[in-house]
Copies of this chain bind each other. A is one copy, B any other.
Amino acid sequence: MEKEIPVASLQRLPVYLNYLKSLGRTEGNISSGAIARALGMGEVLVRKDLAYTSARGRTRTGYDCGELIAAIEDYLGCNRILPAVIFGAGALGRALMSYGGFKNYGIDIVAAFDTDPQKAGKSVADCKIYGVGEARGVISQTGARLAVICVPAAVAQEVCNTLVGCGISAILNFAPILLKVPDGVNVRNIDVAASLAILSSRI
């Protein structure tokens, strides 16, 4: 991925992929207009989204079906697997461990960590929960650079520091606080309540 893609565009790529695969053909062409009509979307939007991939549509003939499928799969990382870990195996952490959607983007949740000794050693959906003391060893062994933080706000900064110390360089943060991280570490926040509040302002 070379250009920075907006989340909304990235979210639509698996939708295009599923649609193209559902057609059951890898030969012949398909136009952005046909894709747009089938999915009830605007044609300009479809073309803009697909331009993030390496697929190039041609005037009048459109995209080569097989090439377009391959380009989206390549962009989404379906052909590589990136290991990631989850910190916090509470209700949300366990929900994410059971969630199958990560593989759509070539992401494999390889381990979870929790401070509760009662949880260590257990597994959720084939993903093992480790104690915090094992974080450095497990992260180094799996080569994970991605982490998801699902702990309460009060301990999120401490967990973040630990993860960064273990070599994690990209963090998806569910705790409703702003994490302070060194240069070179990327953080993305998902604040469910804030998203709901944005919606509520439009009612």
Residues of A within 8 A of B (CB): 1, 4-5, 7-8, 10-12, 14-15, 39-41, 76-77, 82, 84, 90-92, 94-96, 98-99, 101-102, 104-107, 145-146, 148, 169-172, 176-178, 180, 186, 188-203
A176 in complex: contacting residue of B1, B104, B172, B197, CB < 8 Å: B104
Known: A101-B176, A176-B101, A180-B40. A77 touches B200 (CB 8 A): yes
B92 near A99: Cβ-Cβ < 8 Å:
yes
Q: How many copies does the complex hold?
A: 2
Report yes or no: B199 in contact with A172, Cβ–Cβ below 8 A.
yes
Cβ-defined partner of A200 (8 Å) among B7, B107, B176, B194: B107
> How far does the Cβ of A89 sit from chain B's closest Cβ, in whole Å?
11
In the assembled complex, the Cα of A15 lies from the Cα of B202 at a distance in Å of: 23
Other-chain contact of A11, B10, B40, B194 (Cβ < 8 Å): B194
Q: How far is the CB of A133 from chain B (nearest CB, A)?
A: 25
Residue of B104, B107, B195 near A188 (CB, 8 A) is: B195
